[in-house]
Amino acid sequence: MQKSKILIFSILALSAFAFALSEYPSQGGGDPWTQQQLLSPTDLAKTLKDPKAPQPIVFSVGMQAVVKGSIEIGPAMVKDNLDKLKQQLDKLPKNASIVVYCGCCPFSRCPNIRPAMELLGSMKFTNYKLLNLPQNIKVDWIDHGYPMNE
């Protein structure tokens, strides 16, 4: 009886631990970006609103290009879309200012940002950022009234 209680407790504890890891992974622990590569929506919006500021090349690697001036690639979890991103990146210098974003769901579960950031790193780009949308594009961009594509 005691062994079965310990077994059940162990299974429940491991399940809770696995859920916590999948729901709240450590930022940078296994993610293909650093804390310094996270770009706040406020900072990108400010840059996009300033015609005198150097403008980054912004790629949407999610469902829709919402951010003003962004180039729609499509979900980067799909190989054809990741290939499409690679074709776009092949045209750019390695020091180009690049921002990628998705915004489909919370960062912790987004299937699109990791393949895109891994591709940028593997292609040896030196100036790329991930738009920090921890909740989703609506909450973290649209609801703030930041610049959008029409």
Q: Would you kindly state where each structural domain of the chain is located, as residue ranges?
A: 27-144
Task: Give pLDDT < 50 ranges for the chain.
Answer: 2-28
| In CATH, 27-144 is 3.40.50.720 | no
Give phi and psi for 106, each to the nearest 5. Answer: -55, 145
How far, in Å, CA of 60 to CA of 94, rounded? Answer: 19
The pLDDT of residue 29: 53
Residue with tokens 């900072």: 43
CB under 8 Å to 40, separation ≥6 — which residues?
132
**129: amino acid identity, one letter:** K
CB under 8 Å to 147, separation ≥6 — which residues?
45, 48, 49, 67, 68, 69
Convert the pLDDT of each residue in 43-86 to its tens digit.
Answer: 999 999 999 999 999 999 999 999 999 999 999 999 999 999 99
